[in-house]
Amino acid sequence: MGSHRRLVPSGFDRGASTALCVLSATAAALGAVPALAAPHDDPRGEVDRLYEEAERATEAYNKADERADSLREEVGLARDRIARQQERINSMRESLGSLAGAQYRSGGLDPSLALLFSDDPDDYLDKAAVLDRITVRQAGELKDLQDAMREIAQDRAETSRKLGELERSRKTVAAHKRTVEGKLAKARALLNSLPSAERAAYDRASRSGREGMPELGSAVPASGRAASAIAAATSALGKPYVWGANGPSGFDCSGLMQWSYAQAGVALPRTSQAQRFAGPQVPLSQAQPGDLVTYRSDASHVGMYVGNGQVIHAPYPGAPVRYDPVGMMPGATVTRV
């Protein structure tokens, strides 16, 4: 989503260096490489800054939303477990009630008098032995019931804690959503305030024709799943940037990476910060097609390396999924999935 930056030196596959230089010159000619810390009296630079801030807020939203989804699932599982525990406790109580009734009916007389009035002393002794066994069993079941009740109390307390966390997470998601929408609204208002010629120039810069297939060289993908992910990502070329979306009709930067690798059977985390650590780090000079490239010190943007110094990514609102030079932003790190 962020703006294009100066290109960084790299040692990619054959022809990458030349491609980076050519693309850098082209981007400069188009005016698509505003400075990182653009002065606020530069409207186009301010739009770019707002888009960058919105992208950071979008990744924070994605993280909070992912946590809320996880908590909802955990709470659902916990409620199912508690329901099963309650059924077990009810069954144990019923069993204990039956045993207690049998004990009361058999133990209503003093043992010596019961023996005196018994028509068959041997039968009485047999019944007494059974009663002793019932008592031992009852004690064991009572302990099991106590353990089950402690367990269900702990699960209920944990579920209550998670419900509280879920509510806080929902509020966090809503706050990040407001932040993103506020930044994007300011950016749109600022763009609309530009003279038509400047607005058209900015629009041309953000739609710089890179959704076409550039020369990607002969580099081999890092793996079969990387090749499948590249195929999925290229099928999304031209799809719109939609903040908080992970396909298939629209994407934000990390959503495109997650969706592309999902088509290859690989589950990536939702945010660019987490995707940065989804595999081993490799030097930028050793990037292979399919590697993830995260940008900025906070890894708030991510793209996929496709060869010859190019990445495919979802840049920012108004700019569709496209190819750009790998050195478009500072702070690039490479992760092999």
Domains of the chain listed by start with CATH number? 35-208 (1.10.287), 214-337 (3.90.1720.10)
Residues catalogued as catalytic? 253, 301, 313
Q: What is the pLDDT of residue 218?
A: 75
To which H or E segment does residue 324 belong? strand 322-325
Q: What is the pLDDT of residue 248?
A: 93
The residue type at 285: S
Sequence length of the chain is 337
Tokens of 150: 């402690």
What's the average model confidence in pLDDT over 172-197? 81
pLDDT in tens, 45-74: 777 777 778 778 788 888 888 887 888 888
With tokens 């929408």, the residue in question is 181
Query: In this structure, how many other beta carbons lie within 10 angstroms of the beta carbon of residue 1?
Result: 25
Q: What is the pLDDT of residue 227?
A: 95
Which residue from 226, 229, 251 is spatially nearest to 239, judged by alpha carbons? 251
The residue among 22 and 320 whose pLDDT is bigger is 320
Q: What is the pLDDT of residue 317?
A: 81
315 three-class SS = coil
**What is this structure's pTM?**
0.55
Q: What's the CA gap between 266 and 222, in Å, rounded? A: 14
Tokens of 40: 């606020």
Give the least confident one: 114-128, 245-259, 275-289.
114-128
Where is mean pLDDT largest: 96-100, 199-203, 249-253? 249-253
Cis omega (within 30 of 0) for bond into 39: no
The residue among 204 and 196 whose pLDDT is bigger is 196
Give the least confident one: 194-203, 263-272, 308-317.
194-203
User: Would the pLDDT of 97 be above 90?
Assistant: no
Number of H helices, E strands in the chain: 8, 6
